[in-house]
Amino acid sequence: MPQSPKSHAELAARVAELEAERAMVLRLAQTDSLTGLVNRGAFSSGLCERMDAARETGAKVALFVIDLDRFKHLNDSLGHHAGDLLLAELGRRLRDDAAPGELIARLGGDEFALVSDDPDPAARAERLVSALGQQHFIYGRAVSPGGSVGVAVFPDDAQDAADLQHFADMALYRAKSGGGRRWSRFDARLREESERRRTLEDELRRAIPAGEIEPWFQPIIDSMTGRMVGVEVLARWNHPEKGLLAPAAFVPMAEELGLIRVIDEAVFEAACARTAPWVAEGLIESVACNVSPRDLLDPAFSRKLIGRLAKTALPATALTVEITETFLLQDLALSRRHIERLAAKGVNVALDDFGTGYSNLRALMHLPIQTVKLDRSLIDDVGRDSRVSKLVASLLHAARSLGVRIVAEGVETEGQALFLRSAGCERMQGYFFARPMPADAMEAILREQNVPAPRLAAVG
């Protein structure tokens, strides 16, 4: 049966309704619900449109990327709801401050962006920083998170939107690492750095399958006997032209590029293959491996690691996985699950870089961690700064009463070694004993060590 014909007016009204609905859905899809600003998707297309228009007219487009300096801290101390209020308030401020025609977006988290045709980007950036530095009242409390700004300008700095964003991000990073509450503009120095990084990135992608990244080893010493009882695996990149590169030269970039997992797996596999015979022969008891904090956020991390370990000849009880506290605190429940899963297989978990962050021994008591590595920065001042010496001594005391083993990292002098031993530190690692070295050298030294290491003998 044909439907009764609607009047022309009825149809027109329905079409208008649908149009309005469509517009609203479109607006919602482009809006960040917390701040009412445009969201990342709409921002990207908005930026491209403005760049296209500027290409025609010869105008300039300045991109400002904005990041709050202390947002995470505020969020942690005041709670997520307060954090949301602050972001909403900030969105309002930025919008009120904007000139007509400027595009303001929230890109996610505490990251905002502004696209402007202001002919004086420096002055505009200055105004942004001062707007971000103002006080806000959240639950009646004055907070002042402060923010940093990175600037890049089309067409002076970059020709396409992806480069422009990348360059503004680099400038932002420089502003933040300069202490925050400031702005920075992309310049020749950053351009050089970006080119260097691009080359390095290509080389890194090639280096992994080429096997240029290999495990080196640094011994861990038993303080009482002076014997090397374990090794820590440290990645090295045997670069064909640049020579040997330490992790600082490639691990952060590998993390950014999502390559760290492949590197960690390759290093882990090679390290297990080399060290399994050492453990089997009784040359060492344990092998410590580093894992990337980001990797640990993968819920399947511990299961995968156990799976990979099972394919090697290294017994689970000989493996220590070193994790950093940044990860631990990010997701305590997940940390616990990983640590428990590993512990159930006999894998030991060590907390790396202890003393650099926020975690305290009390937090540790709630996690089944058996080993803590005292960071080099603390050891550096041991014996030099009496307050640090006291702190380390009391940490060692507390750890003993909790049944946690402490490994002191970065022991460089005999004085430090003596102090740590007398304070009851069971294990030490550092240049005083040995620097990291390739597998063959490590193996040779381990085979010779039936007599106590001569240098440590001097300690006693």
Of positions 165, 223, 292, 302, contacts ligand C2E by CB under 6 A: 292
**Residue range at the interface with Ca ion (CB under 5 A); choices 31-39, 163-171, 317-325, 326-334:** 317-325
d(CA 337, CA 102): 47
- Say if residues 67 and 87 touch (Cβ distance below 8 Å): no
Residue with Cβ nearer Ca ion (325 or 353): 353
CB environment 303-313: b (16+ within 10 A), e (fewer)? eebbeebeebe
Residue with Cβ nearer Ca ion (65 or 411): 411
Q: Which residues, listed in sequence order, are joined to residue 408 by a DSSP beta bridge? A: 374, 428
**DSSP string computed for 388-449:** HHHHHHHHHHHHHHHT-EEEE----SHHHHHHHHHTT--EE-STTT---EEHHHHHHHHHHT
Phi, psi of 431 (to 5 degrees): -60, -25
Of positions 103, 129, 291, 321, contacts ligand C2E by CB under 6 A: 291
Residue with Cβ nearer Ca ion (286 or 290): 290
- Say if residues 321 and 291 touch (Cβ distance below 8 Å): yes
CB environment 25-50: b (16+ within 10 A), e (fewer)? eeeeebbbeebebbbeebbbebbeeb
Residue with Cβ nearer Ca ion (290 or 335): 290
Residue with Cβ nearer ligand C2E (165 or 218): 218
Output the smallest distance, CB 454 to ligand C2E, in A. 18
Structure tokens at 171: 């400038």
Interaction of residue 247 with ligand C2E, rule CB under 6 A = yes
d(CA 460, CA 455): 10
Interaction of residue 438 with ligand C2E, rule CB under 6 A = no
Q: What is the chain's length?
A: 460
Phi, psi of 149 (to 5 degrees): -135, 135
Output the smallest distance, CB 248 to ligand C2E, in A. 6
Strands (E), 281-318: 286-290
Interaction of residue 322 with Ca ion, rule CB under 5 A = yes
**Residue range at the interface with Ca ion (CB under 5 A); choices 235-243, 258-266, 284-292, 298-306:** 284-292
Interaction of residue 290 with Ca ion, rule CB under 5 A = yes
Output the smallest distance, CB 388 to ligand C2E, in A. 16
Q: Which does 410 bind (CB under 5 to 8 A by kind): Ca ion, ligand C2E, none?
A: ligand C2E
Region 147-206 residues binding Ca ion, contact defined as CB under 5 A: none
User: Coil, strand, or helix at residue 11?
Assistant: helix
| x/- map, 30-59, Ca ion, by CB under 5 A | ------------------------------
Q: Which does 218 bind (CB under 5 to 8 A by kind): ligand C2E, Ca ion, none?
A: ligand C2E
- Give me the torsion for CA of 423, 428, 432, 437, rounded to 10°: 180
Interaction of residue 353 with ligand C2E, rule CB under 6 A = yes
Phi, psi of 436 (to 5 degrees): -60, 145
| x/- map, 251-290, ligand C2E, by CB under 6 A | x--------x---x--x----------------------x
Structure tokens at 250: 């490639």
Interaction of residue 323 with ligand C2E, rule CB under 6 A = no
Interaction of residue 353 with Ca ion, rule CB under 5 A = yes
| x/- map, 197-226, ligand C2E, by CB under 6 A | ---------------------x--------
111-116 vs 103-108, strand pairing mode: antiparallel
Residue with Cβ nearer ligand C2E (288 or 423): 288
Task: List residues binding Ca ion (CB under 5 A).
Answer: 290, 322, 352-353
- Chain residues that interact with ligand C2E, rule: CB under 6 A: 218, 234-235, 246-248, 251, 260, 264, 267, 290-292, 322, 352-353, 376, 409-412, 429-431, 436
